[in-house]
Structure 1
Amino acid sequence: MVRHQALTLASDLHSVREVETLLQQLIEEYHISHDKYGDMLISLTEAVTNAIRHGNRLDKRKYVRISFKVEEGEIRFRIMDEGEGFDFENLPDPTAPENLVRCGGRGVFLMKQLSDRMSFKNNGSTVEMCFKTA
């Protein structure tokens, strides 16, 4: 069974809570393991927070759109903001000694580590993540 759906969020950090509600529904409906739930929750909240804070720059006139597609054995998420994007090819390595004590800069690293596949599109204003469910 293939299911495709989307959710539009205001560029307000309080909107991030809606990600947890969405994931709870998906976990229950598709019987996804709780281990995967944690990986998805961290990755999606990081992506949405980055989209709101860095992409849309907290501009309440802009929106973040989350779409997902559930297919046999995987869930694919796409998070899109209305920003200009960023240079995702040259992000500092958060595990480098000089970056270990810096605040921030770990979100994309975590998203890459926790998802099964991740890519950026549209100059970085769109992130796509795939999670295996089986």
Structure 2
Amino acid sequence: MNSIKIQIPSLNENIRIIESFIDNAKEKYNIDDDIYGNIMIAVTESVNNAIKHGNQNNKKKNVSLSLILEDNVICFTIEDEGEGFDYNNLPDPTSPENIDKPSGRGIFLMKHLSDEVAFENDGRVVKLSFYFN
């Protein structure tokens, strides 16, 4: 089992560190292009949510990202230091009253791009799993 972990202060500009982390993982574990794009979007979206909603853009709070590779599953775990949220009662971004809202699509996107999405610790931890052969 392979695993790597990084931690970043909650600043939007640190998203590029996350992108490099994913690029390095792509090289190191030979991740296919077809899932690489999904990983990049889903993981950066999740980290963005952790920075903005979880840690309320408080640069004293960190977001950690870890990657675990087992058999043919790569799992990214994103954790923030916020209050958590009720992930069972999220507005549907595809319903007519929400369709024009600029936010609210992150988790919807994550669920569509990942093979599995799990929330833990009251929503402070998100696990995104991607299968490959």
Alignment TM class, shorter chain as reference: over 0.9
Residue by residue over 1:45-100, the C-alpha shift from the partner in whole angstroms, topping out at 9 and shown as x without a partner, is: 11000000010001111000001101121111110000010011000001111111
Residue aligning to 1:26: 25
**Count of aligned positions:** 133
What's the counterpart of residue 36 of structure 2?
37
Alignment partners' CA distance in 1, 2:130 and 2:78: 14
CA distance in 2, matches of 1:57, 1:98: 25
Q: Secondary structure at 2:93's aligned position in 1? A: coil
The answer to whether the aligner puts 1:114 opposite 2:79 as a matched pair is no
Unaligned runs of 5+ in 1: none
Secondary structure of 2:97's match? helix
Within 2, Cα distance between the matches of 1:19 and 1:52? 12
Amino acid at match of 1:12: L
What amino acid maps onto 2:99 in structure 1?
L
Higher helix content, 1 or 2: 1
With 22-31 and 79-88 compared, the bigger mean Cα shift is at 22-31
Which segments of 5 or more consecutive residues in structure 2 lack a partner in the other structure? none
> Which residue in 1 is equivalent to 2:88?
89
The residue identity in structure 2 corresponding to 1:31 is N
Work out the CA distance in 2 between the residues paired with 1:107 and 1:13: 15
Note the alpha carbon deviations across 1:14-40, whole angstroms, 9 max, x for none: 111111111111111221111111000
TM-score (norm 2): 0.97
Q: SS where residue 85 of structure 2 aligns?
A: coil
CA RMSD of aligned residues (A): 0.8
